[in-house]
Amino acid sequence: MRTTYVLKALGSIDAKSVRRDSLLRWMGLIPILIALLLRWGVPSLAVWLSRQFQFDLVPYYPLLMSFVLLAVPMMYGSVIGFLLLDQRDDHTLTALQVTPLTLNGYLAYRITIPMLLSVVMSVIIFPVAGLVEIRFLPLLIAALAASLLAPGYALLLAAFAKNKVQGFALMKAAGILGWPPVMAYFVQSGWQLAFGIVPTYWPAKLFWVLEAGEANAWVYLLVGVVYQSLLVAILLRRFNRVMLQ
C-alpha cells in the first residue's frame, strides 16, 4: 500500500513537472501534430508530386508511417529522460532510499510509463493519419515492439547527459537513429540486415512486414525485442553506476 502511494506521488510530481516545462509539453503533443500533418498534408503533397513530377508517393506511405512509429517512443522516452535528469539534480533518488519504493521499483516505473504512452499513442495516431490500412492486432504488435525504444532513449539521456542542456543536444544527436531504417527501406537484398546494428531497424522492419501481410514477422519481432532489451539492460547498468557516484 505504501509503495502504491509513493508511485501515485511520483506520477503527480511528473505531471506537474511536465506542465511547468513548455518543452516537455510540446514534446508530448508532437506525435499528435505529426499525425494531423500527415493526414491533411501528405495526400495533397502526393497529388502535387504526381502532377508536377509524375512521382507516385503512395507506395512510400508505409515508410512514412514507420518513421512515425519510431518517433513516438523517441518523444516520450526523451520526456522521461529529462525528468530523470531533473530528479537526479534534485536528489530525488537519494530521498527514495527512505521510502518503501526500491531503486529497482522506481526504474521499473520509469521504464514502464514511456512504453505504455508510446503504445497507446501509436494505436491512436495511426488511424488519425490514415495513410496505411493495417489491422489493430498487427499495429499493436508493431507498437509494442517499438515501445522498447522509449526506455532506451530515456536511459540514454539520463546515463550520459550531465544536465538538460546536454540532454537536449544528445536527444538531437540520437534523432539520427531514425534515418538508417529509411535507408534500409531502399535496400532489397540481404544486405538490408546490416542495418540491424541500429535498434530502430527492427521495429520499422517488423511494421513493413506486418503491413504487407508477410508470414515471417515473428522473426523480426523476436530479434528486435531481444536486441532492444539487451541494449536497455546495458544502459540500465550505466545509469545505476552514474546514480551511485
Q: What is the pTM of this model?
A: 0.88
What are the structural domain ranges in the chain? Answer: 2-244
pLDDT of residue 174: 87
Those residues with Cβ within 8 angstroms of residue 90's Cβ, 6 or more apart along the chain or in another chain: none
Instruction: List alpha helices for 130-216, DSSP H.
Output: 136-147, 149-160, 164-174, 179-185, 201-212
Q: Name every residue whose Cβ is closer than 8 Å to that of residue 127 and which is 6 or more positions away in sequence.
A: none
Digits of tens for pLDDT over the chain (245 positions)?
Answer: 445 655 566 666 666 766 776 666 777 778 888 888 999 999 999 999 999 999 999 999 999 999 899 999 998 998 888 888 887 776 666 666 666 666 677 777 878 888 998 999 999 999 999 899 899 999 999 999 999 999 999 999 988 988 888 888 888 888 888 899 999 999 988 889 999 999 999 999 999 999 988 888 999 999 999 999 999 999 988 888 876 55
CA 205/CA 220 separation, integer angstroms: 7
> What pLDDT is stored for residue 1 in this prediction?
46
Please, are residues 159 and 244 in contact by the beta-carbon 8 Å criterion? no
